[in-house]
Amino acid sequence: MKSRRWVFPALLVSALTLSLAPTAQAHGSGGHGGGHGKAPRTVGYYTNWSGYDRNFLVKDLVTNGTAPRLTHLNYAFGFLDESGKCVSSDPWADYQRPFSAEQSVNGRTDDAGQPLLGNLNQLKQLKAKYPKLRVNISLGGWTGSKFFSNAALTPESRAAHVRSCIDLWLKGNLVGAAPGAAAGLFDGIDLDWEWPASEGAPGNVIRAEDRENFTALLREYRSQLGRLTWRTGKTYDLTAFLPANPAMVDRGFEVPKVFNLLTFATVQGYDYHGAWESVTNQQSAVRTPAADPTSPKFSTQVTVDHYLRKGAPRDKIVLGVPFYSRGWTGVRNQDNGLFQPATGPAPATYEAGYEDYRILKAQLGKFKVHRDAKAGHAWLFDGTTFWTWDDPTEMKRKGRYVAERRLGGAMAWSLDGDTADGELIRALKDGLS
């Protein structure tokens, strides 16, 4: 599975919401907001492939200081089959892999015969250690959104999809495991449909009616989650990841209705530009740089202002920030490499043109750091290779932007990109405070 989650030509979706009436706000557990004097949320994505090549385990969220700084953790991703039914994208990683004492959050070796193994058991241990942490299952992503349109198409398909997801992830009835093995682990569901009525990964099913059907799907989630709450007494989040591109927002989302149904939404604050383009640029600037030659202009301010104009409440907008860089090589050595032609994506560890922050930091001696403090972005350049650069200085800047605009918080994609001492999450949290 690719580590790439989103590219701007198909900008993103992810947000959290709770499960009673559409207008319910958090009831204390899922809805800490940046507005109205409440502390902003700090949301992070942990992927089910983090434990493979990156060897970044759930336990590392404890050892690098991330877990106590989070209000919400999204576990990515669950997939949908062609009928729209929820399925695990990787049963081994999710609930079958045993962990040793050294790898486990609680310091004990897994028993091969225990009802729940894998990342889900580690997340269960993490919640025991940090009881205030909300853990949600995220559905879809770049490679898992192919059949969302099928799931949302009719009242019958929507009801069946939501039923299957509640059964699998909230009731915990995992395929091949004991009934209810993961019951009670997840506090809600995060929808990462990339994208309603717009192109995403090649082969995705796209329909013109996706926009209205996305709203109808959220209503079905609210209805079924509300009934589950009556049985369990537990409040559930319902969230979604939403794109940065204003044209995609307008094409795919009834903004006021969507935000009314969500606990909050995580809004893409990155992938504004990348190596799918032939000219270097910023991927996550707070404001559009003055010399940016592209049109239309993309920046965090453009995105946030668009959602506000469309009727999104500011305390439900959670701004996404990147724990990775976008890069180009063969860059013309002029103006420190910014807005210059390039021959292609920069070589990288997992995917050309995409590199984790922690890996680039270890190579920092080869590059010079450049900043545009007015626009709020930074980059690295060595004369031929260019990387966007969200370091602690830029993370703190983004956190301050969220706080100053009284938004609902910040979200990090993805937590495995941080250093062993968690310097990005620490700087982000400092900016939010």
Q: Rounded to whole angstroms, how far apart are CA atoms 61 and 65?
A: 6
82 carries an active-site annotation: no
Eight-class DSSP state of 109: P
Phi, psi (degrees; rounded to nearest 5) at 102: -65, -25
Query: CB 201: neighbour CB atoms within 10 A?
Result: 17
- The residue type of 325 is S
Cross-strand bridge partners of residue 327: 387
230 vs 25, 130, 233, 337, 423, CA distance in Å?
A: 17, 25, 6, 58, 41
3-state secondary structure (DSSP) of residue 385: coil
Name which of 124, 68, 65 is nearest 94 in CA terms: 124
Name which of 364, 27, 432 is nearest 225 in CA terms: 27
Name which of 240, 217, 247, 225 is nearest 150 in CA terms: 217
- The residue type of 199 is E
3-state secondary structure (DSSP) of residue 39: coil
**What crossing angle do the helices spanning 155-165 and 210-232 adopt, rounded to 10°?**
40
Which uninterrupted H or E stretch holds 381?
A: strand 377-381
- Of 82, 156, 194, 220, the catalytic one is 194
Cα atoms in the 13 Å half-sphere on the side-chain side of 28:
3
Q: Who's near 305: CB < 8 A, 6+ residues apart?
A: none
Q: Rounded to whole angstroms, how far apart are CA atoms 329 and 337?
A: 10
Question: With b meaning 16 or more CB within 10 Å and e meaning fewer, what string describes 138-170?
Answer: bbbbbbbbbbbbbbbbeeebbebbbebbbebbb
Eight-class DSSP state of 92: I
- Are the C-beta atoms of 35 and 97 separated by less than 8 Å? no
Sign of CA dihedral 329, 333, 336, 341: negative
User: HEC profile for 173-198?
Assistant: CCCCCCCCCCCCCCCEEEEECCCCCC
Q: Rounded to whole angstroms, how far apart are CA atoms 312 and 414?
A: 25
Active site residues: 194
